């Protein structure tokens, strides 16, 4: 099989977004010379080549997929999903355009009205947070796929991360390391990701004959500050944890700093695992073991699905859950 941008990212130990920005020479992207060298060395070792637009014929005659999201700048997830969609679309000779949509906009002037003026193959609609949505009416007019969100009535196919399995994998990794008091610093209550990661955490405890202790579950706000403060509260317990599963890497950063302040060695005294596999995870000391949030892959899968649907193929799945793979580093 031909090497992919994901293979280059894994070889260079950087994100797919970093590889894309460097190889495409994106304006304003600033990286150290060492990072650029790692990426280019990985490209050479793997024999990777960017898809060539000219090999797909005249793209002006091809159709368009519009990638619509509710937010692009607060987190990298939709940018990664768009990059995955764009790279996969190039293989098919399809153009992917990007737009922002917010509920309440004038339907005569919103991004969907602009997209409908193009030779439209379909829509990808993504959200920055994994959540249930009421799909905009335009999504029902052409083949459409939801990314990181879902329709309660399953009227549209969706692709979401496997958060339950990921929460279980993270907790079981800590248990395999010999830990007996595994805590969870979760994200905000009421959101899909924290709910599902908690479910996976509980499943792992039950399957390994551990009793669920609600004192070991804390809720943060996804930021380092809450990982820091909640870790101190956990370590103040009469029987503190010897392992902490943080529901994202930013809270894990604060967690590790709090443990260092208390004179605890990671992972000798307390093991720590994160979730998301952000770029920062490899630069925490010790480098953070984490679960990879597969938004890049999900964007690529959405293009494949739209391409199949537009070609007359029907999927037997109304929702695909994509594995959040374990990334081993040194914090467990």
Does residue 307 form part of some domain? no
Does residue 205 form part of some domain? yes
Percent of all residues in the chain with a pLDDT value above 70, rounded to a whole number? 90
Does residue 296 form part of some domain? no
pLDDT in tens, 55-67: 444 434 448 999 9
Does residue 110 form part of some domain? no
pLDDT in tens, 182-217: 999 999 999 999 999 999 999 999 999 999 999 999
Count Cβ neighbours within 10 Å for each residue of 240-262 and write b for 16 or more, e otherwise.
Answer: bbbbbbbbbbbbbbbbbebbeee
Strand partners, 124: 67, 145
Compare 33 and 246 and report the one with higher pLDDT.
Answer: 246
Does residue 170 form part of some domain? yes
CATH number for the domain that contains residue 6: 1.10.260.40
> Is 214 in contact with 246 (CB distance < 8 Å)?
no
Does residue 192 form part of some domain? yes
pLDDT in tens, 98-118: 999 977 766 556 788 888 888
pTM comes to: 0.81
pLDDT bracket for residue 28 (50, 70, 90): very low
CATH number for the domain that contains residue 273: 3.40.50.2300
Domain that holds residue 26: 1-50
Does residue 283 form part of some domain? yes
Overall number of domains in the chain:
2
Does residue 60 form part of some domain? no
Query: What pLDDT does residue 109 have?
Result: 64
């Amino acid at each position: 099989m031909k090497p992919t941008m994901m293979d280059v990212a894994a070889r260079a130990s950087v994100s797919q977004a970093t590889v894309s920005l460097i190889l495409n020479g994106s304006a304003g992207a600033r990286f150290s010379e060492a990072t650029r060298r790692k990426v280019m060395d990985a490209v050479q070792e793997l024999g990777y080549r960017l898809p060539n637009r000219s090999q797909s014929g005249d793209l002006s005659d091809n159709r368009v997929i519009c990638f619509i999201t509710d937010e692009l700048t607060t987190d990298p997830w939709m940018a990664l999903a768009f990059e995955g969609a764009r790279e996969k679309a190039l293989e098919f000779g399809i153009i992917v355009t990007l737009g922002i949509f917010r509920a309440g906009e004038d339907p005569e002037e919103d991004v969907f009205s602009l997209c409908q003026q193009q030779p439209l193959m379909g829509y990808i609609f993504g959200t920055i947070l994994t959540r249930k949505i009421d799909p905009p009416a335009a999504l029902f007019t052409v083949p459409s796929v939801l990314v990181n969100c879902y329709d309660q009535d399953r009227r549209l196919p969706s692709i979401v991360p496997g958060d339950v399995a990921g929460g279980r994998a993270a907790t079981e990794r800590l248990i395999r390391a010999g830990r007996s008091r595994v805590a969870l610093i979760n994200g905000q209550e009421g959101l899909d990701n924290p709910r599902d990661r908690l479910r996976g955490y509980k499943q792992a405890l039950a399957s390994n004959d551990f009793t669920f202790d609600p004192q070991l579950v804390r809720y943060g706000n996804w930021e380092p500050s809450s990982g820091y403060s909640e870790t101190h509260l956990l370590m103040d317990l009469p029987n503190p944890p010897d392992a902490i599963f943080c529901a994202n890497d930013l809270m894990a950063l604060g967690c590790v700093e709090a443990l260092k302040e208390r004179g605890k060695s990671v992972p000798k005294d307390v093991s720590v695992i994160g979730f998301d596999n952000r770029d920062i995870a490899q630069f925490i000391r010790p480098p953070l073991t984490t679960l990879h949030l597969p938004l890049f892959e999900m964007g690529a899968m959405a293009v494949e699905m739209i391409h199949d649907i537009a070609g007359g193929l029907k999927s037997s799945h109304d929702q695909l859950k994509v594995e959040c793979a374990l990334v081993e580093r040194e914090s467990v």
